[in-house]
Amino acid sequence: MSSENEGNEGTAVPAAPAVPSVPPVPAAAPEGTPASANASRDEAQEPAAAAAEQPGHSPQPEQAAAPLPGYVPAAYPAEAPAGATVGTTAGAQQPGATWPPPPPALPSYGGGAGGGPVWGAQVAEPPRKRSGGLVAAVLVAALVAGGVGGGIGYWAAERNDDTSGSTTVAAAEAPRDLKREPGTVASVAGKALPSVVTIEAKAGGAGTGESSETEGGTGTGFVYDKEGHILTNNHVVASAADGGTLSATFSNGKKYDAEVVGRAEGYDVAVLKLKNAPSGLTPLALGNSEQVAVGDSTIAIGAPFGLSNTVTTGIISAKNRPVASGDGSSGKNSYMSALQTDASINPGNSGGPLLDSRGAVIGINSAIQSAGSGGLGQTQAGSIGLGFAIPINQAKNVAEQLIKTGKPVYPVIGATVDMAGKESGAKIATQGAGGTEAVTPDGPAAKAGFKAGDVITKFNGKPIESGPTLISEIWNHKPGDKVTLTFQRDGKEKTADVVLGERKGDS
């Protein structure tokens, strides 16, 4: 962010007459008006006063612009106190005279010569030098005094009475308690931050001063239950999975060692357990990602580039976005039918919660589309407003599996799909891994009548654009779920129902 401060230098003040003159009478400043505000108004009026003092010009009060409230311009004749006369009637001017008119050095009554200048004649004014800073300081001081004591004095003199008054200048009181309305970003973030942790992962054998150069070494997680389980991304903790060390630091600065309970590479989900977990942990409430709508507000919390407890906001910009968090060709890629958000997500946000406006978790921040990466995944490039989160409904199912068994369970159709195909739809490959059959004998797809070369175009009515899209949809379900697949064979469209099978662990 940037801020701009604009100021105007004070304008030069016209040279004052060589001898004292009757000063313009300042009106009392409105009660509660800061002196600095009055100073600004006076400075703004000075150019007008200078114009009025040109030789041979007599300003007419009735034609002058209306002054600001509480301010009498220097060029405007002020009413003198009752009974005060100095040679001529207060406020009267003669042609060619300047205001305020200089009084004679020695009074001349009845036409007698007083040795001084004739009243109303122009008097040569010796040049006087004043710095702008000094003038400004004087103006401020005068306004402050005039706003309190001077205002009262003028009030009494103008009416020539014995009444007296008093005034009180008091600054407005600040609110005693600053309370934020429920549902504001500040309120939601304030409640969620104590349940969010920054995770540091070190590979086995890493020294004290060493750390992983990949984003997977640092990330975010959040409290899943009161027993001390932390939910995060697999790629955040993968570097420490084999003999490494893990730690979780809360927003209050307290740091705890942690261990891996289970990891799911395909889902990109992992569960940690705090060692010596403190009592009183507050799990974040879990929402329902199926009920999320495009346009819903989102709040992301994480540690982008190591900056812990960072909060960003946005909206759900799309749903069911098929995302492969790797390069799209490796067998270790993770696939998700992601929630897309424009909340700023950067390396280090991975594993952190994506909240709705109520503060409920609707997703786990996992991947970004970066202008510098050329694809979807985890790089050190920054956010361009395309972030992707694992829907919390899917992540919750995986977390429960990992807590119970330590291993993930994947729903499958029992067929190998071409993941690199460029044609529309998900094509069943000609053969499986290692030369095996593409359609597993007696598997779900085989029982439904699928063959190698069939192109699946719809999953429960949703269009399927590619192999990763099909996998993302399948992994949103559980083993045993019955789904309807639409496919093409020999140019003809067909439909078949498939009961999903299961695969345990990462292969």
> Where in the sequence numbering do the catalytic residues fall?
235, 268, 350
The alpha carbon dihedral of 69, 71, 75, 78 has a sign of: positive
Longest dimension (CA), the chain: 133
Residue 286 to residue 77: CA distance in whole angstroms: 74
The size of the chain, in residues, is 507
Phi/psi of residue 89, nearest 5 degrees: -65, 135
As a whole number of angstroms, the distance between CA 323 and CA 334 comes to 8
Q: Read off φ and ψ for residue 154, nearest 5 degrees.
A: -65, -40
- Return the DSSP state at 88: B
Six-digit token pair at 111? Answer: 């036409």
d(C-alpha 409, C-alpha 505), whole Å? 6
Residue 91: half-sphere exposure toward Cβ, Cα within 13 Å: 12
- DSSP-assigned states of every residue in 285-315: PB--GGG--TT-EEEEEE-GGG-TTEEEEEE
Q: What share of the chain is helix, strand, coil (3-state, %, to 5)?
A: 20, 25, 55
DSSP string, 434-445: GG--SB-TTSHH
Tell me how far apart the alpha carbons of residues 477 and 314 are, in angstroms, rounded to a whole number. 28
Q: What is the three-class DSSP state of 38? A: helix
Contact indicator for 354, 299 with CB cutoff of 8 Å: yes
The pair phi, psi for residue 407, each rounded to 5°, is -130, 150
List, in sequence order, every residue forming a beta bridge with 297; answer none if it has no partner: 315
Q: Which residues contact 83 (CB under 8 A, 6 or more apart)?
A: 160
